[in-house]
C-alpha cells in the first residue's frame, strides 16, 4: 500500500524544504498531500511564492497520514506554533506513532513549545536548540529517534527527503537509485535509521 504524507504549509513556509521533500517522495511513489494551515488553500511562502495546497487543514484534520512533514521558515514556524488545529493534528499523529518530520527551525519552534519533543534526539537549524528544554540536540544533517525524523535545514533537505523515503518504503535500492538519477550522493547511511 502506498504511503500518504501530510505536508503542512503555513504562511511563510520555507519553500525549498517543502518542495524538495515533495519532489523526492513523489519520485519514489509516495503520495504527498499538501495541507494549507490557513484560511485559504493558496499559501504564500517565505520568499513570496504562492502555492496552492490540496486541502485546508480543516478539511482533513481527522484524516490519518503515515507521516507529517513540517517545513521551517521564520514566519512559517511562528504561524504553525500558534495554530492550535495544526498542533492538535501533529500531536494526534505523534501519539499514534506516525512519523513526525520537522526540518530547519520547526523542531525547536513548533514542536518544543508544545512538549512534542519529549526528550527525543533531534536536530534543527542555527542556535534555536539553545531555547529547547525537552529534547536532546544532535548536530547532524538528519536525526531519527523513534517516530521523530528531523532535518537540520535547507542544506540538508535532500538528505531529509531521502531518509524519509527510505523509512516509508524500506527500499534502500530504489532510494539510492533515485539519488543517483538526480546526481545526488546520499551522505546519511540510510540503513542505520
- The set of catalytic residues is 104
User: What is the Cα–Cα distance from 147 to 23, expressed in whole angstroms?
Assistant: 22
Rounded CA-CA distance 169/76 in Å is 28
Q: Using CA atoms, how far apart are residues 68 and 156, in angstroms rounded to an integer? A: 18
Per-residue burial over 71-96, b if 16 or more Cβ lie within 10 Å, else e, is: bbbeebbbbbbebeebbebbeebbee
Q: Are 102 and 114 in contact (CB under 8 A)?
A: no
Amino acid at each position: 500500500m502506498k504511503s500518504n504524507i501530510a505536508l503542512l504549509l503555513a504562511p511563510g513556509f520555507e519553500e525549498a524544504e517543502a518542495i524538495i521533500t515533495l519532489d523526492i517522495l513523489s519520485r519514489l511513489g509516495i503520495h504527498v498531500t499538501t495541507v494549507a494551515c490557513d484560511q485559504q488553500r493558496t499559501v504564500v511562502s517565505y520568499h513570496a511564492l504562492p502555492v496552492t495546497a490540496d486541502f485546508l487543514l480543516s478539511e482533513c484534520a481527522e484524516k490519518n497520514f503515515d507521516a507529517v512533514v513540517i517545513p521551517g521558515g521564520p514566519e512559517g514556524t511562528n504561524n504553525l506554533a500558534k495554530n492550535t488545529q495544526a498542533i492538535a493534528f501533529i500531536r494526534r499523529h505523534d501519539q499514534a506513532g506516525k512519523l513526525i518530520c520537522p526540518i530547519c527551525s520547526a523542531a525547536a519552534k513548533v514542536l518544543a513549545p508544545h512538549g512534542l519533543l519529549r526528550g527525543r534526539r533531534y536536530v534543527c537549524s542555527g542556535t534555536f536548540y539553545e531555547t529547547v528544554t525537552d529534547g536532546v540536540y544532535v548536530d547532524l544533517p538528519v536525526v531519527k529517534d523513534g517516530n521523530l525524523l528531523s532535518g537540520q535545514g535547507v542544506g540538508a533537505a535532500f538528505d531529509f527527503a531521502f531518509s524519509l523515503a527510505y523509512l516509508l518504503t524500506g527500499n534502500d535500492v530504489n532510494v539510492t537509485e533515485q539519488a543517483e538519477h538526480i546526481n545526488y550522493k546520499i551522505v546519511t547511511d540510510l540503513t542505520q535509521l
